[in-house]
Every structure is written in structure tokens, then in C-alpha cells.
Amino acid sequence: MQSFKPVTKQDAPKLRRYYQNCSYGLCEYSVGTKLMWRKTLHPAWAEIAGCLVIRNTIDGQTAFDYPVPGPEGDEDAALAAIEAYCLEKGVSPVISVVPECRAAKLLARYPYVRVSSIRTWRDYVYYREDLQFFTGRRYSGQRNHIKKFRTQWPEARFRSLTAADKDAVDRFWEDYEAEFPKGDNAKARDELSLAKKMLKLAGRPWFIAGGIFDGDRLIALSLAERCGDTLIIHIEKALYSYTGVYPTLVQEFAGAFGGDCQWINREDDAADRGLRTSKLQYGPAKLAPKYRFEPQNELLSHVKAIPELRTERLTLSALEEADIPAYNALVLDRERNRWWGYDDAAGLGGPVEERSFFDVARRDFENRLAVNFAIRLDGKLIGEAVLYRFDYQGGAELGCRIDRAYDGHGYGTEAFAAVANWGLYRVQLNRVLAKCYRENEASFKMLSSCMRRSGEDETFFYFEKPV
């Protein structure tokens, strides 16, 4: 199983290798967000197929960021790894904060998926030139505030902040808290505490920090991070007693650090009415959506019961309690099952009882994990065909085993084809997959007769039957 490492400050350089060229334009795709909100997001990371994959755990629920590719990154392989991880964990591969430029790719990938986009998630994204120059009638208010600020405090100056400004920053926080307008708001106070911690990282090469000084007194500060063609503003604070200082800070910061960036992202409004009003007043070019994709295992949702399938010689249907003795004998035949791929008895995780295997098959269908067909000849159970491992791209794997007493008559091929066709044309799967051990000549022959060979490795031959 893929392993993930919790994000720490020491990981920042490795994450920056991906984020510095990331074109998604959302604040979540940055080192600053992962560090600042570490105790909320519990982010963990892994490098998979040349991509950065972040797994977040929020209120006990797992959600992945969309993979961020490096120069030779394979997004499809990274998504497949996420899906495999979630299948093994038994959870849905939720991919959240998906940028608009990747939404179509996921819509094409998942045939059954729930998509949501909440207004309060959206980032306020501005043209850099708009915030740098404040030109046009719509920015007359900002220009007036800046003029008043410059008139009242003509000696105030903007400059970069470094680790050497620690004392000035510490005093700023004291002054800011003294006039903090949301002192009784627990959420706002938490955000303020996180902002203080983040400013201690000013001077690190991946962060950009600057502030306005009135003499030796720091009266406003901001911390940002460049990702692709977007400057992401993580922190923006100023003393309210200095009228007009906020638009002055915005303009000065954009002019000093915007460079050739096309966009400035001032993050979301956290469902705060005051923040929403303020950020809208600066005329965002767009409210960048963040989509949440929840692939659904709905491939069998419309199958209320295991159907009866008939072939020339066989009947395939749900297991019945009367089948238990014959089914147990089939499952426990070690010679028969050395090519099955897993040990049914060991998989129980406990002692084998008379109904154990029957109950597992029934429970797997109830949970929409597998469909176990009993293969019957003249009413007698002679094997089973199992459609299982339903993936999130509309595929499933098919396995089949026949009682040794009935080998050599083509019953396996007949049953296999019947279940594959049911999956493709009744359940509406995109493809049915199968594999066999390289040493299993009988299965290789059977699969070659009814499916298309699609690959091999040191252990298996792989087959596929697409629609």
C-alpha cells in the first residue's frame, strides 16, 4: 500500500519543487496553506508517478488534492494510485479542491460521480495590474483611501520583511491585538494565531513578505507565495487605526512582488461577511471554483438481486443455503484453488464455520463489492463465477473456478462469457478484466478463447473484454 508522510516545515523545499510551477491558481496548492492549516487539514504527501499527491484528513474524512505533476509527471498514473489506495482502505477516493482546468478530466474518468462546488470555497483572484495600479472608475474608492493615507502619514514606507524584523513583527502583533475588532470570535482568533506562526517563516526562500513602516513602527504586513503565474496572498494584516492602510498595502505589495505574475489570489472569504464585502470591493477578475469529486460505486445500485443467467448447458444464479455443503467443498479444495489468487479460509480472519463462505458472498453483494454466481449443471453446483473489484472508472475483475470433477468440458469458458456479457451489457461496465498465473495453462487457454490479451508481468497474464 502507498505510504504518505505528514507535511512538516522540513518538507517545504520538496513540495515547492511541484508548487512553484503549478498552474492551478488555487491557494490550497501551496506550501503556505499546507503549513498554516496543518492542524486542520492533517496533510500527508507522497511522490507518485512524478506527481505530488497530498492526502488530507479533515474531521476523520480522507480527501485528496488533485495530483500536481512535475516535469515528467503522469497524472493518470497518480490518480490510479489514489484509487488503488482507497480500494484497499475501503473508502471512496474523494478528490477535493479540484481546479476548473482539471474538472473535465475527472468527469471523463468517472462514469458515476457526485460533484459539488460551494460558494465559500472560492478564491478571490485578481489581475495583478488591477491591484498594482487601481486604474478606472471602479477603483476610485481605493485611490481616495490611499491618498488620505499618504497625506496623513507621508513618511510611511513599504519594504521587504526578513527574519531580522522579528522585533518589529512582534510589536505589530501586540498593536494589532490591542485594536482587534473580532476578539470575541474564536475562529478569527485561531486564524490570527496561525498567522503569527507563519510570519516566523518570513525570510524562507519560498515565501515573500513585506510591510509598511511608519518610522520604526510596522503598521501593515503581508506574506505570499508564488505558484506558477499566480501570487498567493496567505496573510494580509494592518492596524485599523491607520485609515487607508489596507488598500495601500495591497497596492504596494502587488507592485513590489507581483513581477510578471498574471494573477493575485487573495484566498477565500471563510464565509465571513466582512471579508466577502472587502474582497468584492477590490474587483476580482474571477471567483475561482474548487470542485469536490466523489466517485460513486453505483455500478450495481440498480441491481436489486443477482439475476439468473442461462447458457446452452448451464444456469448461473445466486447462491442458496442448500448450496452450502457443495460451495464449502469448492472453496476448501486446495488443489483446485492454488490458482485462485487468494486463500478464502485465511481471508475470514477467524475460524471456518459452516456458513462462513456463504455469508461472506451474501455480504459482499449487499455492500456492492462483488457478485457471486453459482454455476449449476442440471441443478447441481459445479463452480462459481465472481465479478468483483469494481473500480471507479467503470471496470471490474472476473474470476471463475470449476469443481475438478467437471474439468475439460468447457463449462468455465461458458460461464465466464455469460457473466462478462451480463456485466458489460446489463450492468453497463466499461470493461471486464481477468488475470491468470503464468503457470496456469488451462486458465490461459480459457481466457484466450473469450477475451483479448492486454499485458503480462512476471506473475500474471492479463486479459480484457471491453464493451
The two beta strands, 380-388 and 263-265, are: unpaired
Residue 262 φ then ψ, to 5°? -85, -35
User: Which of 415, 413, 451, 411 is closest to 433 using CA atoms?
Assistant: 451
Task: Kindly state the average pLDDT of the residues 346-359.
Answer: 89
pLDDT in tens, 411-438: 999 999 999 999 999 888 889 999 999 9
Domain of residue 30, CATH code? 3.40.630.30
The answer on 313 and 447 residing in a single domain is yes
The answer on 209 and 199 residing in a single domain is yes
pLDDT score recorded for residue 302: 74
List C-alpha distances in Å: 73 to 21, 63, 70, 76.
13, 21, 5, 9
The answer on 450 and 342 residing in a single domain is yes
Q: Which of 267, 297, 331 is the last residue of a domain?
A: 267
Q: Which of 121, 147, 179 is the last residue of a domain?
A: 121
The answer on 323 and 249 residing in a single domain is no
Q: Is residue 51 in a domain?
A: yes
- Bridge partners of 385? 373, 400
The answer on 394 and 436 residing in a single domain is yes
Between CA 14 and CA 8 the distance in angstroms is 11
pLDDT in tens, 144-165: 999 999 999 999 999 999 989 9
> Scanning the structure block, which residue is given the C-alpha cell 515565501?
207
> Is 90 exceeded by the pLDDT of residue 31?
yes
The parent domain of residue 158 ranges over: 123-267
Q: Is residue 282 in a domain?
A: no
Between CA 315 and CA 383 the distance in angstroms is 11
Q: Would you place residue 62 in the very low, low, confident or very high pLDDT band (cuts 50, 70, 90)?
A: very high
Q: Is residue 14 in a domain?
A: yes
b/e 48-82 (16+ beta carbons within 10 angstroms → b): bbbbbbbbbeeeeebbbbbbbbbeebbbeebbbbb
pLDDT in tens, 435-451: 999 999 989 999 998 89
> Scanning the structure block, which residue is given the C-alpha cell 468455465?
412
CA atoms within 13 A on the CB side of 361: 26
The answer on 256 and 226 residing in a single domain is yes
pLDDT score recorded for residue 189: 84
CA atoms within 13 A on the CB side of 153: 19
Residue 297 φ then ψ, to 5°? -85, 70
Q: Would you place residue 182 in the very low, low, confident or very high pLDDT band (cuts 50, 70, 90)?
A: low
> Is 90 exceeded by the pLDDT of residue 297?
no
> Is 90 exceeded by the pLDDT of residue 52?
yes
Q: How many domains does the chain have?
A: 3
pLDDT score recorded for residue 94: 96
Between CA 195 and CA 197 the distance in angstroms is 5
Q: Would you place residue 83 in the very low, low, confident or very high pLDDT band (cuts 50, 70, 90)?
A: very high
The answer on 58 and 23 residing in a single domain is yes
The answer on 15 and 115 residing in a single domain is yes
Q: What is the pTM of this model?
A: 0.81
The answer on 110 and 144 residing in a single domain is no
Provide the grid cell at 129.
495590474
Q: What's the whole-number average pLDDT of the chain?
A: 93
Helix (H/G/I), strand (E/B), else coil: 129: helix
The answer on 450 and 331 residing in a single domain is yes
The answer on 240 and 147 residing in a single domain is yes
Helix (H/G/I), strand (E/B), else coil: 319: coil
Q: Would you place residue 2 in the very low, low, confident or very high pLDDT band (cuts 50, 70, 90)?
A: confident
> Is 90 exceeded by the pLDDT of residue 274?
no
The answer on 205 and 189 residing in a single domain is yes
